[in-house]
Amino acid sequence: MEKAYSYRFYPTPEQESLLRRTLGCVRLVYNKALHERTQAWYESQRRIGYSQTSSMLTAWKKESELDFLNEVSCVPLQQGLRHLQTAFSNFWAGRTKYPNFKKKHQGGSAEFSKSAFKYRNGQIYLAKCKEPLDIRWSRPIPEGCEPSTVTIRLHPSGRWHISIRFDDPTIKPLPVTDKAIGIDLGINSLVTTSDGNKVSNPKHLKKYYRKLRRAHKNLSRKEKGSKNREKARRKVARIHAQITDTRKDHLHKLTTQLVRENQTIVVEDLAVKNMVKNRKLAQAISDASWGEITRQLAYKCRWYGRTYIEIDRWFPSSKRCSNCGHIVQKMPLNIREWDCPECGTCHDRDINASKNILAAGLAVSVCGASVRPEQSKSVKPTAMKLQT
Ligand SMILES: [Zn+2]
């Protein structure tokens, strides 16, 4: 099973200079290739692929004004072009927006595959660096594991991180249980499960949001291009990083527990949730957490031999009575509890929704077993009908 661990590291001045130049070159090559691909499309409706941009890179390195591209490892530049290819594939498939140019203040990243780094005596040596990276090993890489890829990231706050990917043969499926759970993702409670548990956002997140608002205000008062503005910008970025860390930590504990205790986990397709767009802070917090929860659940289920199901977006999970199947006409967001007019059951809004999500997910998994995967979409509505 593939795993990635992320650590903070402190580059020496020489390493920092080389890494900053590397990130700059990755950005330049990425942006140039993006420009070429866009031009080719507008001017002659031609699609340029990865291999063409790769030969362009070879040509750019021979141009005298781009000579500095030869001073850094070539691997991250190539990997950048691969990422651009992925960005285009996602765009053509309708999953994402058109790729954007990379900007300097975003920091940036550089990916080093096997040929561009060495892992020796528990140390990472990057290409063109004599000394190993000074990594704060917050947890060890399991004995006998060989890193396959490392990614260097410069956070907008000025911190350096390294993410190390490796194959971990020690991950084994957990013992099978017969428990299945439905999960409703919400704003009032971040997570509500079909067995009646509610989990909210950690309290101290609020404290960080207050800090963030103050830092933002401070930033907006600083003059463009000034040293103080740069300092204020870093402060904002640092608080963002703290928020991300705190949130991830909290969610890891939650998702690990859910995956340990349940064989099957059902969630709603997030596209549903995103339809109810609003710019409020609470929404922003939840948005970020929802995506992270489903991401963690999906890969942990894969690791531990669990079944992860995302149900179709049009399922009326909050309007349906999970006891008798009756569907009410309206269910405004402010109603937290309701009585079913048909069978009289008193429902907590979120727990009822998560029960429906579980039922729909189990129906999909039963019907899905007899059809080919590419047809699973057309199967979903039938599965829903069985339930309603
Ligand atoms: Zn009912």
Checking if the pLDDT of 187 tops 80, the result is no
Distance CA 201, CA 279 (A): 18
Give the residue, 276 or 219, on which the prediction is more confident.
Answer: 219
- pLDDT tops 70 at residue 177: yes
- Domain boundaries, given as residue ranges, for the chain: 2-167, 177-201+235-388
Which pLDDT does position 274 carry in this prediction? 52
Strand partners, 268: 311
Residues 230-259: tens digit of each pLDDT = 999 999 999 988 888 888 888 999 999 999
pLDDT category at 268 given cuts 50, 70, 90 is confident
pLDDT per residue over 8-47, tens digit each?
Answer: 999 999 999 999 999 999 999 999 999 999 999 899 888 8
pLDDT band (50, 70, 90) for residue 278:
low
CA distance 153 to 106: 10
Q: How far is the CA of 266 from the centre of ligand 1 (A)?
A: 22
Q: What is the mean pLDDT of residues 50-76?
A: 95
- Residue whose token pair is 């053509």: 92
Taking each helix axis from N to C terminus, what angle separates 227-261 and 204-221, rounded to the nearest 10 degrees?
160
Task: With beta carbons less than 8 A apart as the criterion, state whether 116 and 126 touch.
Answer: yes
Ligand 1: distance of its center to the CA of 361 in Å? 20
Instruction: Tell how far the Cα of 309 is from the centroid of ligand 1, in angstroms.
Output: 25
Cβ(92)–Cβ(42) under 8 Å?
A: no
Q: How confident is the model at residue 383 (pLDDT cuts 50, 70, 90)?
A: very low
Q: What 3-state class would DSSP assign to 3?
A: strand
Predicted local distance difference test score (pLDDT) of residue 171: 82
Compute, in angstroms, the gap from residue 310 CA to the centroid of ligand 1.
Answer: 24
Mean pLDDT of the chain: 86
Q: Average of pLDDT values for 179-201?
A: 90
Average pLDDT for 140-163:
92
pLDDT for the residue 116: 94
Known catalytic membership, residue 43: no
Active-site choice (111, 310, 312, 350): 350
pTM higher than 0.85: no
Residues, the chain: 388
DSSP category for residue 66: G
Given a cut of 70, is residue 313 above it in pLDDT?
no
* Comparison of pLDDT for 385 and 352, the residue scoring more: 352
Strand stretches in 86-217, DSSP E: 108-113, 117-120, 123-126, 147-154, 160-167, 180-185, 191-193, 198-199
Report the separation in Å between the CA atom of 165 and the middle of ligand 1, taken as the mean of its atom positions.
49
Distance 323 CA to ligand 1 centre (A): 5
List 111, 268, 310, 312, catalytic entry:
268
pLDDT-based confidence at residue 380 (cuts at 50, 70, 90): very low
pLDDT over 60 (residue 143): yes
Ligand 1 center from residue 360 Cα (angstroms)? 16
Q: Which candidate, 111, 100, 106, places its Cα nearest to that of 77?
A: 111
pLDDT > 70 in the chain, percent: 88
72 has pLDDT over 90: yes
**184 is annotated as an active-site residue:** yes
In the residue annotation, 287 being an active-site residue is answered as no
pLDDT of res. 271: 59
Q: At 373, is the pLDDT very low, low, confident or very high (cuts 50, 70, 90)? A: very low
Give the pLDDT of residue 205: 78
Q: Contact at 8 Å (CB) between 360 and 317?
A: yes
Weakest mean pLDDT among 47-51, 102-106, 242-246:
242-246
Distance 183 CA to ligand 1 centre (A): 20
Of residues 131, 146, 184, 348, which has the active-site annotation? 184
pLDDT in tens, 295-308: 999 999 998 999 99
Rg (CA), the chain: 25
CA of 352 to the centre of ligand 1 (A): 10
Give the environment of ion ligand 1: residues with CB less than 5 A: 321, 323-324, 326, 340, 342-343
